[in-house]
Structure 1
């Protein structure tokens, strides 16, 4: 097994390679404005570090969001393109699931990422592998419960959500190493059906709008 995973649904442009037993290589750069520039070089870097080529891949996994429209589509379109090129199947995994898996928590908690517009994307979990509710998008004050919190969205709005709820020592962003390891677990267990197609999870309309017709000018 050789799983290439990457995520561009947050400011982290992250890619990793996993062989089903261990993480072979990982690259992460935090830059919310350069997803399109950084993803392919990151993929090339992890392939080179692991000493493999695209033709060696067993599966391709992309974070499917939720996330801002522009960044999210970079990763998903790349997954689809690589799948067409290599013949390896492409899958999508909820980005919040990667944040949750990286936390290593064995108790109930909430993972949250920044949704912009003073909102967060969030989901609740029974443990690092089991999502109970979500993903959803809400203002921080409307995120329910008193559960522990992980993720950049929780940290950004700690004053509203409660600083004592933050779990220290956990990753703010969905690292591709966690994404690859989670997908490899499903694939090794014969759970490819659990993985979704590489399609975006959109919880609201994109910020961009198609311009309307020009206004009529009267003389």
Structure 2
């Protein structure tokens, strides 16, 4: 598929939106990123609209939407996925979901570990070989993550927990999201990669 792609990710503290022209190569026309773990709902739509304006295109010009499906915290993750699904439905264009870690890993070379914040003193992680995921995604305490890699990428404070050289990719980018898609197959239904149950649970039945 060629054309203009809207890329969205809210699986990390980076609220990312960008417009990509996809043809023989991937060209970033515009991208807006807000680094704030509490601003997913507030910033995703403004970032989308700002990216469209900077790219000089209209919403109706889009041919596809790509969204990061995590792993990530429940509240932040569902903001991006619901937004992407809404745009896809309103514009009648396909929506492709990708693992958000893949959007970081696609920019790595050799044997690389990618980690992001999972809270509860844990990290989400996956391992890559020449930008292709070979293990994960999973969630674990840093001490339990396999570290047989040449380098680590991902959120800086969590990558620093590993005694490995640091790579440049930090958060999912619009370009990385689009390049992580398998464009040879039709998009599957969006499935969030929570990897564990949400913190909030419904109250139990009240005893008489």
TM-score (norm 2): 0.91
**Which residue does 2:48 correspond to in 1?**
43
Counting only pairs closer than 5 Å after superposition, residues 1-219 of structure 1 correspond to structure 2 as 1-20=3-22, 21=25, 22-101=27-106, 104-128=107-131, 130-147=132-149, 148-152=151-155, 155-156=157-158, 158-159=160-161, 161-162=162-163, 165-168=164-167, 170-183=168-181, 186-187=182-183, 191-193=184-186, 196-216=188-208
Aligned length: 202
Quick one: structure 1 residues 57 and 192, their matched pair in 2 at CA, closer, same or farther if it must change by over 3 Å? farther
Distance in structure 1 (CA, Å) of the matches to 2:178 and 2:52: 14
CA contact (8 A) 1:65 1:94 kept: yes
Per mean C-alpha deviation after superposition, the further-off stretch among 17-26 and 66-75 is 17-26
Bigger proportion of residues as helix: 1
Unaligned runs of 5+ in 1: none
More strand by share: 2
Whole-angstrom distance in 1 between the partners of 2:189 and 2:109: 27
What SS class does the counterpart of residue 180 from structure 2 fall into?
A: helix
How far off its partner does 1:215 sit? Answer: 4.8
1:66 Cα deviation after fit: 0.4
Partners of 2:203 and 2:68 in 1: CA distance: 30
Q: Deviations over 1:59-103 (max 9, x none)?
A: 1011000000000000111111111100110110100001112xx
CA contact (8 A) 2:159 2:166 kept: no
Q: Distance in 1 between matches of 2:67 and 2:95?
A: 8
Long gaps (5+) in structure 2: none
Instruction: Tell me how far 1:23 sits from its aligned partner.
Output: 0.8
Shift of 1:197: 3.0
TM-score (norm 1): 0.86
Shift of 1:199: 1.9
Corresponding residue SS for 1:62? strand
